A and B are shown apart, each in its own frame.
Chain A
């Protein structure tokens, strides 16, 4: 299993009940799964917990056999950089860095040594001659592909995508989703997408309701 979750709970001070309470969840190597859920149901928090951006109150998370929770913050940072690619709804590119730097920084944080990979990956995603540009100089679709390149540069075992096409128009959304799925399949990475967009969800053969999974 690439992702193994048991008895996961997370609550915040402002809320009397846990936002996330997932008794069990698993995702196999190379598997692609979409979680359906409306806004405010804890989908993003669930992904943040898997990525180690948040520490759970209880429960365990293992990524490719390595503990993400419970684990010290530094170990979570390291595991996130090496094993997880994260595609955000708003891409979250570093505006002060070039396209190539956005991708290469991800490598630096993971401690990987593949100096040719960022350029090769950008070329594979049709961004070969845009490496020197800053995100603000790119179209939305191009930014989405940079975010994808950044997520895949360290050959992650798991890619998390939070409403990955919400910022795109329908045509570009379909293309971006196909690219995301193909790139993950090509890289052998498992893909976990959360969304409330039925068009996106319809593209996945495997869709589960987050509400059924999350039982706070």
Chain B
């Protein structure tokens, strides 16, 4: 045995002896650390997940308006369409040599608050939402027949609504559910899509023509669509520049939202200040938590003087006791980080569930992020530093005069 072998026992016993203060410090660190991790990783993961949730589309064409609104409407099923396009606009785009797929969609109706999206069957049969992957129907179902009033439901919407093949769903006018706005038409569910972790999971897909011709819609605009989802040929993505110029700079009637990732980045830029505030707040909380470690240890110095003196009288080197105090602070930081990881997971699961419900985007918080490496190391280092001052005081603790019990 060596003096150093006594270190774990000294640290363990000190933590036990000052259990209440230590536990409060651990709890405080856990909350601050968990909040910091959640703020940091959710921000990064949300940006990544949203940019990868475009369903394989490079651009969206729509009525003149905000590109962000257009993308949120057409790809994330969140906003109303800024307007409509004529069928001729869709056809013009289809003829462009760089365009592999131009998928018109129509929105404006819902089933109990879940958006009905009119789309051609080519969306499922021709378009890869990921390289080599198409939107497919779960076993036991099939795609809708464009000639019949049928529907396929996204996996998340089906789960929430309890839909299964054979169910009949009624269309309601508008994007918000209002029982008074019911159409007379019903759609028969023919299949449930395999989950994709993209907003496609939140939509109920119906034949484009059926949605366009629902009674109550303006007959003059029966052939109009809400937006066109565009996928370029793999080697011709640079054509986006020409189309951007054509629609956005030379034209005045339409908006070409391209590239989708850049448009979405604009969304996150809007909230960048909030990210910074959250991040700074969490970092300040972590610093405050380590300050609490310092205060807790420093306030316990007086109570520890006699025990240190006894240990010194037993032959414990001065450095061992100061090291024990610093390690004790580090152990509090490590325990806080471990518990904080739990807090982060719980907060992350809640946030991910909310994002999933609201947007259909699946946040993968299990994915490795560098912050998961440097944050615990930083937290422990911060606590070790916090223990340095009390340790310096302990170093100067006189032995002989503290051996006598206080009277």
Q: A80-B313, A88-B313, A94-B311 are in contact. List 11 more A-B contacts (CB 8 A).
A: A74-B317, A94-B307, A96-B16, A104-B1, A105-B6, A105-B311, A109-B311, A109-B314, A109-B315, A111-B3, A113-B1
Contact of A109 among B316, B399, B403 (CB under 8 A): B316
Contact partners of A82 in chain B: CB under 8 A: 315
Asked, given contacts A105-B314, A108-B1, whether A88 binds B403 with beta carbons under 8 Å apart, the answer is: yes
CB of B255, distance to nearest CB on chain A (Å): 71
A150 at the interface (CB under 8 A from B): yes
Which of A90, A92, A108 has the most C-beta atoms of chain B within 10 angstroms of its own C-beta? Answer: A108
Can you list 20 A-B pairs with a CB-CB distance of less than 8 A? Answer: A45-B400, A53-B403, A74-B319, A77-B315, A78-B317, A80-B313, A90-B404, A90-B405, A92-B306, A92-B313, A94-B310, A96-B14, A106-B315, A107-B1, A108-B3, A109-B311, A109-B314, A110-B315, A111-B2, A150-B314
Contact of A108 among B5, B313, B319 (CB under 8 A): B5
B9 at the interface (CB under 8 A from A): yes
CB of B369, distance to nearest CB on chain A (Å): 40
Contact partners of B2 in chain A: CB under 8 A: 108, 111
CB of B294, distance to nearest CB on chain A (Å): 21
Task: Determine the residue in chain B with the shortest Cβ distance to A80.
Answer: B315
Task: Determine the residue in chain B with the shortest Cβ distance to A51.
Answer: B313
**In the docked arrangement, what's the CA distance between A78 and B320, Å?**
12
**In the docked arrangement, what's the CA distance between A58 and B17, Å?**
40
Q: Are B13 and A92 in contact (CB under 8 A)?
A: no
Contact of B13 among A53, A90, A96 (CB under 8 A): A96
Task: Determine the residue in chain B with the shortest Cβ distance to A89.
Answer: B404
**In the docked arrangement, what's the CA distance between A86 and B309, Å?**
13
A26 at the interface (CB under 8 A from B): no
B312 at the interface (CB under 8 A from A): yes
Asked, given contacts A108-B3, A108-B6, A112-B1, whether A101 binds B13 with beta carbons under 8 Å apart, the answer is: yes
Q: Are A77 and B310 in contact (CB under 8 A)?
A: no
A54 at the interface (CB under 8 A from B): yes
What does the 1/0 interface line of A92-129 toward B look like (CB < 8 Å)? Answer: 11111100010011111111110000000000000000
What does the 1/0 interface line of B312-331 toward A look like (CB < 8 Å)? Answer: 11111111000000000000
Q: Are B307 and A96 in contact (CB under 8 A)?
A: yes
Contact partners of B6 in chain A: CB under 8 A: 105, 108-109
Contact partners of B313 in chain A: CB under 8 A: 51, 53, 80, 86, 88, 92
Task: Determine the residue in chain A with the shortest Cβ distance to B2.
Answer: A111
Contact partners of A96 in chain B: CB under 8 A: 13-14, 16-17, 307
CB of A133, distance to nearest CB on chain B (Å): 14
Task: Determine the residue in chain A with the shortest Cβ distance to B16.
Answer: A96
Contact partners of A92 in chain B: CB under 8 A: 306, 310, 313, 403
Asked, given contacts A90-B404, A95-B307, A96-B13, whether A106 binds B314 with beta carbons under 8 Å apart, the answer is: yes
Contact partners of A77 in chain B: CB under 8 A: 312, 315-318
Contact partners of A81 in chain B: CB under 8 A: 314-316
A73 at the interface (CB under 8 A from B): yes
Q: Are B400 and A48 in contact (CB under 8 A)?
A: yes
**Interface SS of chain B: helix, strand, loop or mixed?**
helix
Contact-residue size bin, chain A (C-beta under 8 Å from the other chain) = 20 to 34
Task: Determine the residue in chain B with the shortest Cβ distance to A115.
Answer: B1
Contact partners of B9 in chain A: CB under 8 A: 97, 101, 105, 108
Task: Determine the residue in chain A with the shortest Cβ distance to B5.
Answer: A108
Q: Are B312 and A53 in contact (CB under 8 A)?
A: yes
Contact partners of B403 in chain A: CB under 8 A: 53, 88, 92
What does the 1/0 interface line of A65-90 toward B look like (CB < 8 Å)? Answer: 00000000110011011100010101
* B1-45 at interface with A (beta carbon < 8 Å): 1-3, 5-6, 9-10, 13-14, 16-17
Contact of A78 among B13, B315, B400, B405 (CB under 8 A): B315
Contact partners of B405 in chain A: CB under 8 A: 90
Contact partners of B311 in chain A: CB under 8 A: 94, 105, 109
CB of B51, distance to nearest CB on chain A (Å): 54
CB of B56, distance to nearest CB on chain A (Å): 63
**In the docked arrangement, what's the CA distance between A73 and B396, Å?**
13
CB of B37, distance to nearest CB on chain A (Å): 33
* A159-204 at interface with B (beta carbon < 8 Å): none
Contact partners of B13 in chain A: CB under 8 A: 94, 96-97, 101
Which of B312, B314, B316 has the most C-beta atoms of chain A within 10 angstroms of its own C-beta? Answer: B314
